[in-house]
Chain A
Amino acid sequence: MSVINPDQINAERLAGLRPSPGHVDIDPALGDGSLVDDPAENAPLVLNNRSFHDVTEIVCGYTEKAPGFWWIHVVGFAATVASITQIMILYLIITGVGVWGLNNQVDWAWDITNFVFWIGIGHAGTLISAILCLLKQQWRTAVNRAAEAMTIFAVICAGIFPGIHVGRVWFAWMLFPVPNYNWIWPNFRSPLLWDVFAVSTYFTVSLLFWYMGLIPDLATLRDRAHLRLRRGESRNIELRFPVPLPLPTIRLPFKADVLRAYIYGFFAVGWRFSSTHWYRYEKAYLILAGISTPLVLSVHSIVSFDFATSVIPGWHTTIFPPYFVAGAVFGGFAMVLLLLIPLRALLPNFEDLLTLRHIENMAKIILVTGMLVGFAYSMEFFIAYYSGSEYEWHAFMYNRATPIWGSDKGAPYWWAYWAMITCNVLSPQVFWFKKMRRSVIAVWIVACFVTVGMWFERFVIIVTSIHRAYLPGEWGMFFPTPVDILTFVGTCGIFLTLFMLFVRLLPVFPMAELKAVMPGASPHDYHDEHDDDHDSEGGH
């Protein structure tokens, strides 16, 4: 082949085979340039001198080109795991909640633990989108799309549990104020009903926020599909087998780009990148960010009211709302890192858009929120002592912290409490060291610890508080049944399946927002230039 096809070069570059045209050699002292410590200098948000077109190519490439072989295996595995939850839910509905390990004493256990766990994970997305948007933290552009997607998928997983834990699932609609034949209405003074409204509002608003951000990027995918169709570059869809088998490739009688043009085009609502539209869009987006910020804070506060408004020792505390919100942000960021760090290794050129600076910033947030959560743990303990309430003190000192061998009143669940402390308070402390914050592996390991720790936090709050109530006669234990365990494991599959489909079908980075923070995006970047032909050379 004597003629080099430009698309060939592009494809190779996207696959990481060639450095980008403006490739910069990494300085061993300064890393890839994203880690400058000089406050006067902005760290680049996109590395390797990428042009606007490069960003479009990289991000659209993830959805337009066939993914690596790993993708089909991951999604196949995840979908299989997800189906377990469906089977378990079916079994639960046709049998009853007795298939879980709940008993008279511990009547909320893994169901509500999983609910709070998932809803907590769902908080980082809107936090990154909304709060960091209001604070004009430009680094959010690399992570907000994926984090918002994660939010929606996590809330879907969370929403399963309150729905199925009500026992008679076919009455779950009574949670909403629907006029009915019995002439009864829900109790609006119950925090459980507040929760219904908070979670459903949160899901809807997160979805709208996510969709609004997606509109311009879907229009980009639509336009690219149209361009390829007009140039006759589109080919019919070929179905390949995920494993190499000597079978003929199935060729479908239609083109992928036709589907893209229709489906992305439908959801892009005819966006034509007009500046008048952008102006309204940005204002509406800002309003959405402005209302989502108190929304995020309210949702987990209301989730904590489920517990805080009761009189159970260990639940009845005023620190719960801020403590739950800090914990949600903490767990949510850990999940963002848990998902994006492997993607960064698997997808070509991902690390140019998600730089070490982003990972370091998120590690710092994990450290801060981890300390907040640690403060809440100690403050709960202190107030239990300082209040002079023997029930409170017993709940913290003996039901949680003292091992069963440490005292005759010791808690059988001590290991859960200490697992929580180790994972949530001790493990993020490694982020005091710059080297750890900048080591992708270390950050990923801590993110795993934090995710496990946050599950234990909810388990500790829920199960250890109610397994010993006021009268020793009604003390009991909770043991999960296989149905409990498999339902939870299956929701992880649902989450991963949805996330993998997102990675394959939608732009993982917000291209328009990313381009807007690149050098050369502002007219002010061109002040010193007399020759206006450069569009990628910024500078002041």
Chain B
Amino acid sequence: MARPIYKTESGATVYGILAEFSNPYTLSEAAKSVRDAGFRKWDTHSPFPIHEMEESMGIVGKAIRPMMFVIGCGALLGVCGGYLMQWWINYDYAIIVQGKPTYQAWEPFVPITFELGVLFTAFSSILGMLAFNGLPRHHHPLFSSDRFLRSSDDAFFLSVEARDEKFDPSATRRLLEEAGATHIELIEE
């Protein structure tokens, strides 16, 4: 069953509803009620990470497990690749140091293996974080709201996308109003 596509009076497609809250506490409580109402495509926005917000939003673990896996793979790739690079290069061009066997004496390879492991973990954690967050992203419908731009300063928002199965322009608005939103606006696509 196709979900209805909501349009504004001017004919633009509705992206969703944006509700402003006055502080982290009301935002966190509102997130709990939106979570309990069964919404899926929604998010909160705050100028800084709010303590335990992931619990209020019900995303603990879910949102980060794939990212953690990618970071772990990156770390493993760095460590294995780093060691194998040195092992192979010593095999290809053996430099005998202190009369030790060329590549069975593995101990001096540890520092570079470690460094490359760290390097790859760092890259995979920042790139993994961005990739799972869907960034870099050139534009987002929320940025069209002047009010929303203050989320980088001192304002707290909750946005519900029109794509969500439970979305309904008036019922969702009422839910957010009951949750204590101080300002609600419709965002166009």
Contacts and interface: CB of A to CB of B under 8 A. Distances in A.
Given A56-B153, A185-B89, A533 B49 contact: no
A201 B119 contact: yes
B153 A223 contact: yes
Contacts of A193: 112
Contact of B23 (A183, A276, A283, A535): A535
Q: Which of A187, A188, A532 has the most CB of B within 10 A?
A: A188
A523 B67 contact: no
A211 B123 CA distance: 12
Contact of A208 (B56, B122, B153): B122
A184 interface: yes
B154 A273 contact: no
A418 interface: no
A211 B27 CA distance: 28
Interface in B73-102: 75, 85-86, 89-90, 92-93, 95, 97
Contact of B22 (A183, A273, A533): A533
Interface residues of A, number: 76
A526 B153 CA distance: 20
A170 interface: no
A295 B115 CA distance: 7
Interface string A200-244: 010011001101100010011011101100100000000000000
A276 B25 contact: no
Contacts of B45: 272-275
B136 interface: yes
A526 B23 contact: yes
A53 B154 contact: yes
B6 interface: no
B114 A270 contact: no
Interface residues of B, number: 74
A52 interface: yes
B146 interface: yes
B112 A197 contact: yes
Contacts of B67: 280, 283-284
Contacts of A187: 95, 97
Contact of A280 (B48, B63, B90, B151): B63
Interface stretch (A344-352, A465-473, A482-490, A509-517): A509-517
Nearest to A182: B93
Contacts of B68: 283
B52 interface: yes
Contacts of A230: 146
Interface of B: 22-29, 31, 43-54, 56-57, 59, 63-64, 67-68, 71, 75, 85-86, 89-90, 92-93, 95, 97, 105, 108-109, 111-112, 114-116, 118-119, 121-123, 125-126, 128-130, 132-133, 135-140, 142-143, 146, 149-154, 180
Which 4 A-B residue pairs are closest in the complex by CB-CB distance? Answer: A526-B25, A270-B137, A52-B154, A284-B129
Given A273-B152, A532-B26, 13 more contacts: A194-B111, A220-B153, A223-B153, A273-B151, A276-B133, A277-B133, A294-B114, A522-B50, A522-B51, A523-B29, A525-B25, A532-B23, A532-B180
23 contacts: A185-B90, A201-B115, A209-B122, A224-B152, A275-B50, A280-B67, A280-B133, A281-B129, A284-B71, A291-B118, A291-B121, A292-B122, A298-B114, A511-B47, A513-B48, A521-B24, A523-B27, A523-B28, A526-B24, A529-B25, A532-B22, A532-B180, A535-B24
